[in-house]
Amino acid sequence: MTAWLDRRSTPLLVGLFAALLAVAAGLVSGADAAERAGLAARWTARAALPLFLIVFLASTLMRRWPAGITRALRKRRRQWGLGFALAHTIHLAALAVNVIVFAPGRTWQSLIGGGLTYVMIFVMAFTSTDGWQRQLGRWWRRLHTVGIYYIWFIFTASYAGRAFGDEPEKRVVGLLFGTILIAALIGRLWPR
């Protein structure tokens, strides 16, 4: 297990596989084209969440439980970030179909929070190299710290919206994943 986690390619393959599986599950489960596209968008976001949590918590986990697995996750954190970016790009493709084909009435205000998050995700993925880290100096750390908390905020806000919504099934999902995200934040910020 540790050797597998230690491979550079593992995070990208996990991100790709999880997101494509989510799309496939959406395509076979929906009753009509609109529902299939909606499920693909919903489940690709859900598939990307565990990858985000690995990036968000890799240092915390290694500090608290130093072991082969946590060390491998911390060592490959950059690749897990790229795996998350890949999975979330597949969410972008699924939701583009959703927004353009099935729900064209969305206002630009409703797209701005998620749209800005994509700009942040792509800037972070693009600057995830030693060269950019050297070039940006202390701004690299600032960019990646602000970015990771911003992505956390958008995930949490999306699930909080569902937790307080009208549909019982979405309320359960919102409560479950919202609680996991808040627990992750507490775990990360808890004093050493």
Residue number closest to ligand HEM, CB atom: 114
We find the least distance from the C-beta atom of residue 64 to ligand HEM, in angstroms, to be 25
Nearer to ligand HEM, 69 or 154 (CB): 154
Residue 91 near residue 52, CB atoms below 8 Å:
no
- Residues contacting ligand HEM: total by CB under 6 A: 19
Question: Which of the residues 9 through 28 are near ligand HEM (CB under 6 A)?
Answer: none
Residue 188 near residue 57, CB atoms below 8 Å:
yes
The token duo for 22 is 């989510």
Alpha-carbon Rg for the chain, nearest whole angstrom, is 17
We find the least distance from the C-beta atom of residue 168 to ligand HEM, in angstroms, to be 13
Nearer to ligand HEM, 79 or 117 (CB): 117
We find the least distance from the C-beta atom of residue 145 to ligand HEM, in angstroms, to be 16
We find the least distance from the C-beta atom of residue 129 to ligand HEM, in angstroms, to be 22
Question: Which of the residues 106 through 135 are near ligand HEM (CB under 6 A)?
Answer: 111, 114-115, 117-118
Residue 166 Cα distances to 72, 115, 172, 175, 189, angstroms: 41, 25, 11, 13, 32
Long-range contacts formed by 123-132: CB under 8 A, 24+ apart: 123/147, 124/81, 124/85, 124/148, 125/81, 125/82, 125/85, 128/78, 128/81, 128/82
Which residues have C-beta within 8 Å of that of residue 91, sequence separation ≥ 6? 19, 41, 44, 45, 48
Residue 98 in contact with ligand HEM, rule: CB under 6 A: yes
- In this structure, what DSSP letter does residue 190 have? S
We find the least distance from the C-beta atom of residue 63 to ligand HEM, in angstroms, to be 25
Residue 167, SS3? coil
Question: Which of the residues 31 through 90 are near ligand HEM (CB under 6 A)?
Answer: 38, 41-42, 45-46
Residue 16 near residue 86, CB atoms below 8 Å:
yes
We find the least distance from the C-beta atom of residue 102 to ligand HEM, in angstroms, to be 9
Question: Which of the residues 135 through 174 are near ligand HEM (CB under 6 A)?
Answer: 151, 154-155, 158-159, 173
Residue matched to tokens 């890799």: 58
By CB under 6 A, name the binding residues for ligand HEM. Answer: 38, 41-42, 45-46, 95, 98-99, 111, 114-115, 117-118, 151, 154-155, 158-159, 173
